[in-house]
């Protein structure tokens, strides 16, 4: 198994976020989360629902990259025009996304960096569906480059997604569905299992130390490391290769390193 890549280990770790989620729409945005959702459906959690990335629900996850337009076999239909009614605002979804910033409260930012709202230093996508996703259904995150520029000290520049920051919560609002689950990075796996949902490191990828993770993070982490992040087994690697026949996963983490660091 010497040739397992770090990206493949991350896919395997991300797929765990969807384990036993039930009949909900699993959405993985970006190559690693998307392959991970497919892997979860094809292994431990077949009841997951997912789209072809456009508008149709499929029971066979569609592979990444070029393929025939009609290769997907639609089993159902979930266009954007029904998405909020049926998946997001009903809570029947778990999304795994890659925001630009995240803070100690799990607040995320995809909209802008620096400057003011009138004149941001760097304009990014906009908040997209993050405000709705985070108040209505479970969310997990994948970051291919774990640095203190992503895991920021203080708070994110613009709060695009709800976290566990008590100061941000308007009294009387219903936050019962805020449910941040798992964070997978190129260094470790984390969750929100600390006191008041503080972020904990729960496993380290092979050869990574807690100190290294802490060094790359702008806020204090809880050391709840229970062991090494497991490597994908042969069955998982086979499915990953099928879901990503063009090898897009090799471009996700800088230099596409192996899962086990070489000295």
Q: Which residues bind another protein (CB under 8 A)?
A: 52-56, 62, 66-67, 69, 79-81, 84, 88-89, 111-112, 115-132, 134-136, 158-163, 165, 168-175, 178
Tokens of 94: 């778990």
227: which residues sit within 8 A by CB, 6+ positions away? 203
Which run of H or E residues covers position 181? strand 180-185
> Least CB distance from residue 144 to another protein, whole Å?
15
Q: Which one, 87 or 237, has the nearer CB to another protein? A: 87
- Closer to another protein by CB, 92 or 168: give it: 168
Q: Where are the alpha helices (H) located in the chain, listed in sequence order? A: 6-15, 31-42, 80-83, 130-136, 210-215, 234-243
Separation between Cα atoms, residue 230 and residue 237, nearest integer Å: 13
Name the 3-class secondary structure at 191.
strand
Distance CA 1, CA 239 (A): 15
Q: Measured from the CB of residue 110, what is the shortest distance to another protein in angstroms?
A: 9
CB 39, min distance to another protein, A? 18
Quote the distance between the C-alpha of residue 110 and its chain's center: 14
The least CB distance from residue 93 to another protein, in Å, is 12
Pairwise CA distance, residues 208 & 121, whole Å: 34
Indicate the residue among 112 and 140 with the shorter CB distance to another protein: 112
The answer to whether the CB of 245 falls within 8 A of the CB of 224 is no
- Closest CB to another protein among residues 88, 213: 88
CB of 132 to another protein, least distance (A): 4
Q: Toward another protein, which CB reaches closer, 56 or 219?
A: 56
What's the min distance (Å) between Cβ of 111 and another protein?
7
Of the pair 158, 199, the CB lying nearest another protein is at 158
């Amino acid at each position: 198994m010497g040739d397992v890549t770090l990206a493949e280990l991350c896919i395997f770790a991300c797929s765990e976020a969807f384990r036993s989620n039930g009949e909900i729409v699993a959405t993985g945005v970006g190559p690693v989360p998307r392959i991970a959702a497919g892997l979860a459906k094809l292994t431990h959690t077949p009841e997951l629902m997912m789209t072809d990335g456009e508008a149709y629900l499929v029971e066979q996850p569609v592979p990444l990259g070029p393929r025939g337009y009609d290769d997907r076999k639609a089993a159902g239909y979930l266009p954007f025009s029904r998405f909020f009614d049926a998946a997001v605002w009903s809570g029947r979804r778990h999304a795994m996304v890659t925001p630009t910033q995240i803070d100690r409260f799990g607040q995320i930012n995809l909209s802008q960096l620096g400057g003011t709202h009138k004149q941001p230093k760097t304009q990014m996508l906009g908040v997209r569906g993050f405000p709705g996703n985070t108040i209505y259904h479970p969310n997990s995150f994948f970051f291919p480059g774990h640095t203190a520029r992503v895991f920021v000290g203080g708070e994110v520049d613009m709060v695009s997604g709800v976290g566990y920051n008590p100061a941000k919560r308007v009294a009387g609002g219903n936050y019962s569905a805020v449910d941040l689950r798992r964070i997978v990075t190129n260094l470790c796996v984390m969750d929100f299992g600390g006191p008041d949902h503080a972020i904990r490191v729960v496993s380290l990828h092979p050869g990574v130390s807690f100190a290294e993770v802490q060094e790359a993070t702008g806020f204090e982490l809880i050391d709840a490391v229970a062991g090494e992040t497991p490597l994908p087994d042969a069955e998982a690697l086979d499915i990953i290769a099928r879901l990503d026949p063009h090898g897009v996963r090799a471009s996700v983490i800088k230099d596409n390193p192996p899962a086990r660091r070489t000295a």
